[in-house]
Each structure stands twice: as structure tokens, then as C-alpha cells.
Amino acid sequence: MKKTVVFLVMLFSITISFAQVKTEWQEIFNRISDEVAKNSKAYTSLQTETQTIGHRLTGSPNGAKAEAFAFDLLKSYGFQPEYQTFEAESWSRGTIEVTINNVKYKAVTLAHSPVKADLTGELVDMGNGLEDDYKANPDAAKGKIVFAALGILPGSKKDLHNLHRSEKTALAIKYGASGIILFNGAPGAILLTGTASVTGKLISIPAVCIGNDDGMKLKEQLKTAAATAHITMTNFSGMVKARNVIATIKGKTLPNEKVIIGGHLDSWDLATGAIDNGIGSFSVMDMARTFKALNLQPERTVVFILFMGEEEGLLGSKAFVEKAMKDGSLINVRYMLNFDMTNNPKGYSSGTDEDSTLIKSIGLMAQQTDTSFKNTFHSGLGLHSDHQPFMLEGVPTGGASGSLSKAIIDCYHADCDVFDKVKKDEIENTVRFGSMLLYGLADAPTLNATHMNDDVLKEKLLKSNLKEALQIEGEWRWKD
């Protein structure tokens, strides 16, 4: 009986304590909302960067200028930012020409294609470019140039799980193809770039993308007649130095525990990368500004990181995680929040459910400041952004769940990803609601999510249907 009374007293004390914390948070969240509404620099800073620098390709002069721009911006907000320099194999495009049956097609090279290629070969239609398309005829692609959809074709069987362009390229290589032509899912002649490599290193075959209109017409032609493609290209590949940009606010009572919030600063070179990932990285910088302006110091240390090299293989986040594993500091990372193309959030997300009650409570208070926030919650794991290296080492991950219009999504990695796609009120909502999530996790009395061991991580990856993609990437370390 005595033990029961003691337990109830402790439980009551914890409940009262957390209630007091939540009262304090509501006042802080209201201040965050007011500060961002009055003084946010996210929109104007991104506008200045896109107009004065342009794209932010890793390893390029523009990339170095963008790193310095972020560093100086954080310094102007009162931080003493740091560079984390890393060396990696970078890639940039040179020339490209694609002709099919002697007709020239508008095309763009997919990153990490060979530095030089001059290839002529028969086209073979491999549908969606998924493993099942090859298994139907395992020898069909040998010595030929694969032609496949970048997305999932209309009329495909339901519940197909699409693969990343790099994974589709890896399958083409696996089944002996000499090249691959993917056609974009966005309507018209929009061309998509991005890496075709699952490792971030050069691939053995040329990979290109053509527009949707050209692709659908070619698909119809291939039903009745053969086609021969000629691909010539030149590219650059070599070791470059790039820099993650890091700013830190030391925790009040738990300085060794860290909550990281990051977004990739780099972009592809066809446009200015305003959406991918200007809206994410410049929101993260404005969250840092907001914390400084309000003199916010949560219990745990908060680390703001602008990663370079995400587009070319998560290079900056991999370098950060590798260093943190070597010096033993990764174990101190309680959460990694990733903002990649995050826009106008209506809810929050987490890789696990352990802190769902806490996160929903944070969301409820965010909703109190602005009813446009719907406090939705999504749990699950995903790939292909800077949270991935953290996640694969068991670190809890999360972020905010927003939306972008189809017209903007169609400009993903394309020459139409420019500043006029950015909406001022929406990027400011990202800053407001992202800051609230960050503060709540960093200041919470307890966090239930802990680093996942390999068994737990494997189970969660399987549940999220990520085994096939990780196997193709060579990142699946479990033996069945």
C-alpha cells in the first residue's frame, strides 16, 4: 500500500510539473508566432540568395558562395556558426545529346552518369522499371538501352511501390543494360535531373531523362516498331570540398542531450532550388533567428545544421554522422528533425510512436496559436533525405508535414524551381510551427524515444516497406 501511495504521489507530481511546462510552452509558442509574423527573414533571405547566387550545387563556386551566405546570415543573428568541412566525390554536367531513330530529343543527364559516353543501342521498354518488369523476361535488357517511366504508369496494378530513379538505374545495371532513358511524370516537356546513383559515386552506364510528352509518344511507337537510341555525353567527376554550416544553442540543464534540426542547403543546377530545398533550409535558419531573438534556451542543446551534398548522395549528413560516430557524440542525439521541401505544415511526423502523445500535445498548443494548424500526426520511416544516415544508426527522426501544389511538385529538380514558386505566408508557417516542435522536443521533461537497436530498427524498416530499396542501395545490413 505504501509503495502504491508513493507511486501515485510521484505520478501526480509529474503530471502537475508537465502541466506547468505546457503552460509555459503556450506562452512561448505565442511569442514565437508573433516574432515570426513581425520579423521573419526566411522569405527575403531566400529571395536575396536566389537573385544574387542562384543554384547551390555542391562543390561548385555557387555552392561555396551559398555556404558563406548561410554562415554570415547565422552570424548576423548572434550565433558563432561553424563550418564542418568534408571531402566527397562530386559531379557536374557537361554536354548531352540524345537521338532516337535519328530524331533529336530534349534531354538532361542524370547525375553520376559517366564522365564520357558515346552509346548506340536498341531501346527496350521496361514499363515502370521495377524489378517485376525485369523478372518477366530477365534477359530482355541485356546489352540494350532501357526505356522506363520515372513514376508509375497510368493503368498499372494497384498498390505498386515506386522506386527512386537511382534504384531504377541500379536495376537496369543489374540486368545488363547498356544505358537507361527515364521519362518524367510531370506533364509537358519538363525535364527532371537528380542522381542516378545509389552510392553517390559514378555509375557504369549513361542515364538520362526526357519529358513526359516525348516519353508517352515514344512508348506508343515502341508497341509497333523497334527504336535505336544514340546517347553522347560529357560530365565532370572529382573530389571536392564542401561545408556543412552549424549553429548551436547550449541546453540549460541537459547540454549533452541534443535535438538536431537540419535541411539541405545544396540544390541542383538547372534552376535556383527555391523549393528544393530553399524553403526548408532557409526556414531552419529563420528558426535559429527566432530562437536568438526571443533568447530561447530549452533544457537540451539545439543544433541547427545546413547540410551540403544531399542531392549527390546525402554527402554532408553522412559526413556528420560518420564524425559523430567516431567521437561518440551520436548517442547524445535524441532527435533529428529534417526539413526537406517542408512547406506550410498542418501537422507533425515522427519515425516512431513513442513520443506521439508529446508531439500531439505540442501540436495542440501550436493549434491554439493558429487554428490553420490541424495537428495531424504521421508515424513511419522513409528514405532519400538527410535524416536517413541518422535513422540507419537508430536515431529517432521526425519533422513537420506540409503540402505543395501539383504545379510546384512538377518543378521538382527542374528548370522551373525558381523563387516565384515560394509563398511568403507558407514559408513563415514552416518557421512558426517548426520552431514550436523543436522547442517542445528540446524542452520536454522526458523523451520516450531512444536509439533503436538493430532488431527494432529492422522491424520498423520492414513495416515501412523499405527493405527492397535499401537492398538495392547496398544499405540493408541484415541477413535473413
Q: Which of 265, 398, 245 is nearest to 336 (CA)?
A: 398
**CA–CA separation, 230 vs 100, rounded Å?**
6
CA dihedral 426, 428, 433, 434 (to 10 degrees): 110
Q: What is the pLDDT of residue 356?
A: 97
Whether pLDDT at 421 is above 50: yes
CATH numbers and ranges of domains, the chain: 36-89+239-473 (3.40.630.10), 102-226 (3.50.30.30)
3-state secondary structure at position 411: coil
Q: How far is CA 461 from CA 331, 377, 378, 457, in A?
A: 20, 19, 15, 6
Residues found in the chain:
480
What does the pLDDT average to over 430-438? 98
Which residues are registered as beta bridge partners of 107?
210
- Cα distances from 308 to residues 49, 63, 200, 265, in angstroms, run 15, 8, 13, 6
Cell numbers 490553420 label which residue? Answer: 372
State the pairing for strand pair 207-210/179-183. parallel
Is residue 2 very low, low, confident or very high in pLDDT (cuts 50, 70, 90)? low
Assess contact for 432 and 370: CB atoms under 8 A: yes
How high does pLDDT run on average in the chain? 95
Looking at the predicted structure, is the pLDDT value of residue 15 above 60? no
| pLDDT surpasses 50 at 408 | yes
Range 450-478 average pLDDT = 96
Cell numbers for 207: 542515364
Does the pLDDT at position 14 exceed 70?
A: no
- 7-21, 155-169, 302-316, 378-392: which has the minimum mean pLDDT? 7-21
Which stretches of 55-106 are DSSP H helices?
A: 61-76
Look at residue 268 in the predicted model and tell me its pLDDT.
Answer: 98
Pairing of strands 254-264, 228-249: unpaired
Is residue 228 within 8 Å of 18, Cβ to Cβ?
no
Question: 29-83, pLDDT tens digit by residue?
Answer: 999 999 999 999 999 999 999 999 999 999 999 999 999 999 999 999 999 999 9
**pLDDT per position as a tens digit, 142-176:** 999 999 999 999 999 998 999 999 999 999 999 99
Quick one: which of 446, 443, 454 has its CA closest to 391? 454
- Check pLDDT > 50 for residue 440: yes
Distance from C-alpha of 15 to C-alpha of 387, rounded to nearest angstrom? 32
399/397 Cα distance (integer angstroms) = 7
Q: Tell me which long-range contacts 6-14 makes (C-beta under 8 A, separation of at least 24).
A: 14/445
Predicted pLDDT of residue 303: 99
* DSSP three-state, residue 285: helix
pLDDT tier for residue 20 given thresholds of 50, 70 and 90: low
Annotate 124-152 with b (16+ C-beta within 10 A) or e (fewer).
bbbbbbbbebbeeeeebbeebbbbbbbbb
Average pLDDT value for residue range 449-468? 97
According to the model, what pLDDT value does residue 21 have? 77
DSSP for 184-249, written as a single string: -SSSTT-----B--SSSS--SS-EEEE-HHHHHHHHHHHTTS--EEEEEEEEEEEEEEEEEEEEEE
Q: Could you give the CA distance from residue 100 to residue 97 in angstroms, rounded to a whole number?
A: 10
Q: Which of 207, 303, 277, 344 is nearest to 57 (CA)?
A: 277
Please answer whether residues 141 and 119 qualify as being in contact, where contact means their C-beta atoms are separated by less than 8 angstroms: no
* Per-residue pLDDT, 22: 80
- Placement of cell 518477366 in the chain: 136
pLDDT for residue 4 is more than 90: no
pLDDT of residue 18: 63
pLDDT surpasses 80 at 260: yes
Please state the rounded mean pLDDT for residues 259-281: 98
Residue-wise pLDDT tens digits, 317-373? 999 999 999 999 999 999 999 999 999 999 999 999 999 999 999 999 999 999 999
